[in-house]
Amino acid sequence: MITGKQAIADLRALGDATKAAEMHRYHKVDRPYLGVANPVIDECVKRWRNEVSLDERIALAKSLWKGNTHEGRIAAAKLLTQARIRPEDHAAWALIVSWVPEFDAWAIADHASIAGQKRLVADPSRLETVEGWTTSDHMWTRRAALVMTLPWTKQNHPKADDIAIRERVLGWAAGYVEDQEWFIQKAIAWWLRELSKHDPDRVRAFLDTYGERLKPFARKEAARKLP
């Protein structure tokens, strides 16, 4: 079994001090940075996944997240990013959910949310948990509700259940329009922009109702892909 300490040692050996300092300045969150690029993290994660069982992979992801390095948390999320997890994915979903209150930077939050997207698509009943995030005092938790549900913006021919989920999330977005946090406004725009590629009329209807209450940059970004 690969331990979190061994995995961090692998990443540290591939790091660059100059790049680490640049990443610290860019992400603006005080935590250790090793200076490892995402494609290199991908290669490490691919190797680790081939060497451990599912239970060991979840334990490794938990350890890497707890270690709080930037690259370790990115790697933890990538370890759990998989469309199908067999025999069952309850432990993986529970671990992702446990991370959400600790989100504090967009890159880590987005990688973890991509892992969460896979688990939501696998079991949409988990949206009951996600809906609870929409009233959180923690901005990153509120944002995660939109980022994790992005797969429902991408369907050209959604089924009735998927349309219902899409409308449910648009209701959450409508509840966010008065939220002045930049990352929340950006998340609303992101959701609408992606949906506009598949259902432009629905996005136009949302903007007709709520567009004037969005920040100008978010309104512009939401409409950017409209035909």
Rounded average pLDDT over 162-191: 98
- pLDDT value, residue 1: 86
Rounded average pLDDT over 174-202: 98
Rounded average pLDDT over 168-182: 98
Dihedral sign for Cα 104, 108, 109, 112, please.
negative
Model pLDDT for residues 100-140, shown as the tens digit of each residue: 999 999 999 999 999 999 999 999 999 999 999 999 999 99
> Whole-angstrom Cα distance, residue 211 to residue 2?
50
Q: What is the pTM of this model?
A: 0.96
Triad 42, 47, 98: Cα angle to 5°: 65
> Whole-angstrom Cα distance, residue 53 to residue 59?
10
Model pLDDT for residues 64-79, shown as the tens digit of each residue: 999 999 999 999 999 9
- pLDDT value, residue 66: 98
**Please, are residues 164 and 194 in contact by the beta-carbon 8 Å criterion?**
no
The domains of the chain, with CATH numbers, are 1-122 (no CATH), 124-227 (1.25.10.90)
DSSP line for 123-175: -GGGHHHHHHHTT-SSHHHHHHHHHTTGGGGS-SS--HHHHHHHHHHHHHHHH
Rounded average pLDDT over 197-203: 97
